[in-house]
Amino acid sequence: MKRLFLMAMIGVTLASACGKKGDPRAPEFVIPRTITNLSARSGAAGITLTWSRPTAYVDGSELKDLASFVIFRKEVSQSCPDCPVPYRQLTTVNVEDQEKFVKQKQYRFDDQEVRPKAIYRYRISSQLFDGSLSAPSNEVEIVRSEK
């Protein structure tokens, strides 16, 4: 009798633990909204990029699994500014506030590996823990000052 009761309890537990955490969503809706306020300025130490943290997925639901930001850069030729040059991944900025009560709203990255008078273009994508990336941010172009 105890054995039958135990088997019934296991069956009920397994049936109720299907793993469903919510209604399924299409993969294209579970990526972060695109960053639209990337900005750059040239200073003594290099080029400083700033942007705001996305707070929602493209479907409007709250963003909960932001892992990092991937920064892309390309150097534009001064002799041929319209020549196609691919973006290259420069670095990844990890989100360090995953378990904190107050989440960081603004981010900053200092690119110190730049040459004076060179023209650079940057864009950023948000990255989730599963590795998926948001669409690229707005593009910013800046000329490195001579400082």
Residue that is written with structure tokens 């948000």 in the block: 126
Domain boundaries of the chain, sorted by first residue: 25-143
Task: Please list the residues that pair with 135 across neighbouring strands.
Answer: none
Q: What is the pLDDT of residue 30?
A: 81
List pLDDT tens digits, range 48-107. Answer: 999 999 999 999 999 989 999 999 999 998 888 888 899 999 999 999 866 566 677 999
Token pair for residue 144?
């490195």
Give me the chain's average pLDDT, please.
Answer: 84
Average pLDDT over residues 129-147: 91
Residue that is written with structure tokens 């948001």 in the block: 134
Q: Which fold has domain 25-143?
A: Immunoglobulin-like (2.60.40)
Reported as a pLDDT band with limits 50, 70 and 90, residue 146 is confident
d(CA 76, CA 36): 22
Q: What is the pLDDT of residue 102?
A: 63
The count of other CB atoms within 10 Å of the CB of residue 147 is 9
